Amino acid sequence: MENIDLINSFSEFKDDKKIDRVMLMSILEEVFRAALKRKYGSDDNFDIIVNPDKGDLEIWRNRVVVEDEMSEDDNEEIELAEARKIEPDFEIGEEVSEEIKLHQLGRRAILALRQNLISKIYEHDSTNLYKKFKELEGDMYSAEVHHIKHNAIILLDDEGNEIVLPKSEQIRSDFFRKGDSVRGIIKTVELRGNKPAIILSRTSPEFLRKLFEQEIPEVFDGLITIEGVARIPGEKAKIAVDSYDDRIDPVGACVGIKGSRIHGIVRELGNENIDVVNYTKNTQLYISRALSPAKVVKMDIFEAEGEKKARAEVYLRPEEVSKAIGRNGVNIRLATQLTGYEIDVLREGEDDEDVELTEFSDEIEAWIIDEFKSIGLDTAKSVIDKDVTELVSRTDLEEETIIEVQRILKEEFDK
């Protein structure tokens, strides 16, 4: 096989992997030099001439003429008698250039060269694919379901690139069949071996942000800005929006008449409940809005100090507490995520010196605290004020456990 034949035999890779001919020639030179190093020990004295216009490649070995029987390196030196077989007027010290044909490398070297060439072409293709999708991280992307595994869905885009939607990145209510189009954001792109792993996510808060940008014209145009996003995928989300134009109601524009604008986003997210709130730099007002639908009576803000996080003590009427916390604590968790403040909910009129039982979670196990909460006792004083016998009868706790809990709580107040 001549050098040019080897080049032509790999034309299908050039076409399939969209590698231009110049890049193919560059890969060929790299592969040939590796083959020359293996056979001759060095490729320093070889010239590889690539002609991308003609699509051919020549290999020339350059050796210095030395006296007969004085050659110390057959790769870099050639004896005078052998040199004069090539051209009769060569003299000692001159340089001889002779073309190396592919068959001179040997059959095994040719097979290794072909395999190395295939590997390099795929490596080049993978590198380009990695770079392309790395630039798309955080962007919306669509692909079609190719096949479904127990822990992931494998998608293919229009160019046949494989994209993975892991179970952990799917919304709980997601259900797809082969051929369905799936939207998400490119979460991460990693090189695993020589192959890029492209991970799609539908649970990321950024997915909700991108849906708003795509579905709400004012957000897309920059008239409305998204200042914060918090999600519990498939359950509930809160998104804070603002506008520099006083004529625009950012919440109304995002929701639409009777929810017409936000309906498509809710449907895309498996009927995830979305609260849209007006953003403000007024911390107390922002936290109050984040706790919607609960109505806050008053609030104390404690800014972050050292390792202590910023915190807000929020006082509500007793009937508003459950609204602020939400089912399974979802509402208060989202408000915390959205505002960046740890939020403690307190009932208006409660003894300010009383302490929530959850404050003792380092000393009292969570399941014990839950036992007290199940009978309506969620503060330290409410537990201390009850008789041990009554608590034993109303909970599944042992007498010794209750006595120990009351001791811990009393010690706190004694301090």
pLDDT digits (tens, 9 = 90+) for 319-355: 888 888 888 789 999 999 999 999 988 877 655 567 7
Cα maximum dimension of the chain: 118
pLDDT at position 213 is 94
Average pLDDT over residues 107-131: 73
Whether the Cβ atoms of residue 405 and residue 371 lie closer than 8 Å to each other:
no
Whole-angstrom distance, CA of residue 163 vs CA of residue 188: 11
Predicted confidence band of residue 20 (pLDDT cuts 50, 70, 90): low
pLDDT digits (tens, 9 = 90+) for 166-201: 999 999 999 999 999 999 999 999 888 778 899 999
Greater confidence (292 vs 36) lies with 292
The closest of 168, 173, 137, 141 to 155, measured between CA atoms, is 141
pLDDT digits (tens, 9 = 90+) for 237-248: 999 999 988 899
If one counts every other C-beta atom within 10 angstroms of the C-beta of residue 240, the result is: 23
Whole-angstrom distance, CA of residue 400 vs CA of residue 336: 36
The closest of 230, 275, 276 to 253, measured between CA atoms, is 276
Extended beta strands in 224-267, E state: 224-232, 236-243
pLDDT at position 319 is 80
Among the ranges given (7-21, 40-54, 110-124, 313-327), the one the predictor scored with the smallest mean pLDDT: 7-21
Whether the Cβ atoms of residue 131 and residue 144 lie closer than 8 Å to each other:
no
CATH 1.10.3470 fits 3-131, yes or no: no
The reply to whether 280-348 shares the fold of 204-275 is yes
* C-alpha count within 13 angstroms, C-beta hemisphere, residue 226: 25
Quick check: helix, strand or coil at residue 327?
A: helix
If one counts every other C-beta atom within 10 angstroms of the C-beta of residue 143, the result is: 24
CATH architecture of 280-348: 2-Layer Sandwich (3.30)
Average pLDDT over residues 124-150: 88
Cis bond leading into 196, ω under 30°? no
pLDDT at position 6 is 54
pLDDT at position 74 is 80
Judge residue 298's burial from the number of C-beta atoms within 10 Å of its C-beta, 0-12 exposed, 13-18 middle, 19 or more buried. exposed
Query: Is 139's pLDDT higher than 80?
Result: yes
Q: Which CATH code is given to the segment(s) 136-203?
A: 2.40.50.140
Greater confidence (169 vs 107) lies with 169
CA angle, 289 as apex, 283 and 295 as ends, to 5°? 115
Amino acid letter, residue 45: N
pLDDT at position 7 is 55
Predicted confidence band of residue 4 (pLDDT cuts 50, 70, 90): very low
Q: Residue 157 has which token pair?
A: 């885009």
pLDDT digits (tens, 9 = 90+) for 41-85: 888 888 887 765 555 678 888 998 888 887 778 888 888 888 888
Predicted confidence band of residue 360 (pLDDT cuts 50, 70, 90): confident
Query: Is 212's pLDDT higher than 90?
Result: yes
Q: Which CATH code is given to the segment(s) 204-275?
A: 3.30.300.20
Whether the Cβ atoms of residue 191 and residue 156 lie closer than 8 Å to each other:
no
Amino acid letter, residue 401: T
If one counts every other C-beta atom within 10 angstroms of the C-beta of residue 178, the result is: 11
Domain extents for the chain? 3-131, 136-203, 204-275, 280-348, 351-415
Query: Is 1's pLDDT higher than 50?
Result: no
Whole-angstrom distance, CA of residue 195 vs CA of residue 197: 6
pLDDT at position 353 is 66
Mean of pLDDT over the chain: 85
